[in-house]
Copies of this chain bind each other. A is one copy, B any other.
Amino acid sequence: MRSKVKDLLGMEAGREVLAKGWVRTKRPSKEVAFIALNDGSTIKNIQVVVDRSGELAELLPKISTGTCIAVRGTLVESVGSGQAVEIKASGIEIYGECDPVRYPLQKKDTSLEYLRTVAHLRPRTNTFGAVYRLRSQMAFAIHEYFHSKGFVYLNTPLITASDAEGAGQMFQVTTLDLGNVPKDKKGGPDYSKDFFGRQTSLTVSGQLEGELGATALGEIYTFGPTFRAENSNTPRHLAEFWMIEPEMAFYDIKDNMDLAEDFIKSLVRYALEHCREDIDFLCQRYDNTLVERLEGVIATDFVRLGYTEGIEILKAAVAAGHQFEYPVEWGIDLQSEHERYLVEQHFGKPVILTDYPKDIKAFYMKQNEDGKTVRAMDILFPKIGEIIGGSEREADLAKLEKRIDELKMSRRGLEWYLDTRRFGSCPHSGFGLGFERLLLFVTGMQNIRDVIPFPRTPKNAEF
């Protein structure tokens, strides 16, 4: 019966064991060879000791970094430092050899840039093993958080005929023959011949459909892939990423902020409690302030600040000599430099900024009585910037329709959405969390392409 490395490392010496995994390193010494074996269950390896004078010795030349083997043996106390136990091998079976000359992970270049070019193999490295385990743990923490509160996990559609909030550029989805697109009477593409009989795209947000769920089931959340066809080649943008979008009936903006703050603190706490070995590794390797930053978020109350007050603080900074690249005045969409000033320099902790000018926010946000601002709330994080964006939603049909008209949007395509306000409208709120943004924060990685297994970016869709 095979044991995973994670379990082996916690067992008492003396047992006969069977381990299976991939060789990380092989190191010969005078009388024995040491093999560090990893099976992905933990960042740690189990050390396998092979007697160089025994019959297993003849297998050693076939064993190198990347080789897949099964090892039988006795768990014994380890004399070396690092681990309590190791396996004294009595049998080895080689499942798959690994040519040291050709193996891409043999190369001296183990930079994150290089590993992106072999993304199909990078889960075999310590770094990506740690990141992907963390990603998995965080996904579970998210499901567990909402499940424990009675939220319904709602799968909103990926292929959509709605353009959501007009939030971003969309990918088209089609079965039309691009070499010979059928034309309609006006000479445009004849979408009536397309699979869905109309033009369809990949969703940029499940929020509007999420509101359909919340106004029936009470509290829902989505957690799924989301798309942006934006030509942004930055360390913070992906064409395909995962979003979590909770939507709650009977929550006002304050309830929404309370939930968002508690949610994100719970996730960070979960990471520290359940993924400590992987976080410690990443902290040590890439970012030695990581643990401190994570603990800081849990320990502190987030600042809650109106946009207007935020602008005042930024103006005061300018007056005091601080130089921003972009001008500061009421009505601007905050730039990253502004957000970072507030979070990192002025307050030194996460900030929830509320009540933004309506002209820089989406149509569905609840309008304040001042006629100028809406009940938006963005959570700004150190190093990451905006990690959560949300709002209380406009529940009043007439106000919502007026805003749609002002923005010259089409009401017709939104009738289904307006039905939520037409029939038994309720106060409700919600927010969106970019999963990869969260992972940047929790792992300390710098590039968003390194926290998703198969990143999709302009001109890049390998595998």
Distance A401 CA – B105 CA, assembled complex (angstroms): 23
- Bound complex: CA of A187 vs CA of B421, how far in Å? 50
Report yes or no: B453 in contact with A155, Cβ–Cβ below 8 A: yes
- The verdict on A368 contacting chain B, using a C-beta distance below 8 Å, is no
Check if A281 is an interface residue, CB within 8 A of chain B. Answer: no
Nearest CB in chain B: distance from A440 CB, A? 15
- Whether A40 contacts B152 in the complex (CB less than 8 A), given A212-B120, A459-B197, comes out as yes
Is A188 an interface position by the 8 A CB rule?
Answer: yes
Across the interface, do B460 and A395 meet the contact criterion of CB distance under 8 Å?
Answer: no
Determine the residue in chain B with the shortest Cβ distance to A96.
Answer: B425
Residue of B67, B96, B155, B187 touching A452 (CB-CB under 8 A) = B155
Taking a contact as CB atoms under 8 Å apart, the answer to whether A178 and B174 are in contact is yes
How many chain A residues touch B (CB < 8 A): the figure is 111
For the complex, what is the distance from the CA of A152 to the CA of B174, rounded to whole Å? 33
Does A293 sit at the interface, judged by CB under 8 A? no
Known contacts A218-B39, A218-B41, A416-B462, A147 near B153 by CB under 8 Å: no
Instruction: Verify A140–B123 contact, CB threshold 8 A.
Output: no
Contact indicator B172/A174 (Cβ below 8 Å): yes
In the complex, what residue of chain B is closest to A6 when comparing beta carbons? B150
Segment at the interface with B among A130-138, A355-363, A373-381: A130-138
Chain B CB within 8 A of A154 CB: yes
A333 to chain B, nearest CB (A): 25
**Interface contact B197-A123, CB-CB below 8 Å:** no
Which B residue sits closest to A206, measured CB to CB? B454
Q: A39-B218, A40-B217, A123-B212 are in contact. Are A68 and B461 (CB under 8 A)?
A: no
Give the residues in chain B near A2, CB-CB below 8 Å. Answer: 250
Neighbouring B residues of A266 by C-beta, 8 Å = none
Chain B: CB-nearest residue to A177:
B189
The reply on A311 being an interface residue by CB < 8 A is no
Is A434 interfacial (CB 8 A cutoff)? no
Asked if A129 is at the interface (CB within 8 A of a chain B CB), the reply is yes
Q: Contact at A171–B179, with CB atoms within 8 Å?
A: no
Distance to closest chain B CB from A149 (angstroms): 10
Which chain A residues numbered 120 to 177 have a C-beta less than 8 Å away from chain B? 120-121, 123-124, 128-129, 132-133, 135-136, 139-140, 143-144, 147, 150-162, 169, 171-176
A213, chain B: closest CB distance, angstroms: 6
User: Do the beta carbons of B96 and A395 come within 8 Å of each other?
Assistant: yes
A187 to B426, CA, bound (A): 55
Contact call B196/A458, Cβ cutoff below 8 A: yes
Determine whether the beta carbon of A240 is less than 8 Å from that of B202.
no
Give the residues in chain B near A229, CB-CB below 8 Å. Answer: 175, 195
Q: How far is the CA of A409 from the CA of B143 in the complex (A)?
A: 40
B155/A196 in contact, CB under 8 A: no
Q: Which residues of the other chain, B, contact A395 by a CB distance below 8 angstroms?
A: 95-96
B124 adjacent to A216 (CB under 8 Å):
yes
- In the assembled complex, the Cα of A242 lies from the Cα of B231 at a distance in Å of 29
| 30 CB-based A-B contacts, threshold 8 Å | A6-B150, A22-B424, A39-B218, A40-B152, A40-B216, A41-B217, A67-B424, A68-B215, A95-B424, A96-B426, A99-B423, A102-B422, A105-B423, A123-B217, A124-B215, A132-B217, A136-B151, A154-B453, A155-B225, A160-B463, A162-B463, A169-B175, A171-B174, A173-B202, A174-B178, A176-B178, A196-B239, A209-B453, A213-B453, A224-B225
Binding site for B on A (CB under 8 A): 2, 4, 6, 20-23, 39-41, 66-68, 70, 95-99, 102-105, 120-121, 123-124, 128-129, 132-133, 135-136, 139-140, 143-144, 147, 150-162, 169, 171-176, 178-179, 181, 187-189, 195-198, 200, 202, 208-209, 212-213, 215-219, 224-225, 227, 229, 231, 239-240, 242, 249-250, 395, 416-417, 419-427, 452-454, 456, 458-463
Given contacts A41-B217, A161-B463, 17 further A-B contacts (CB under 8 A): A20-B250, A21-B218, A22-B216, A39-B218, A39-B249, A40-B249, A68-B425, A68-B426, A96-B423, A123-B217, A124-B215, A128-B216, A136-B154, A156-B454, A158-B225, A174-B178, A212-B463
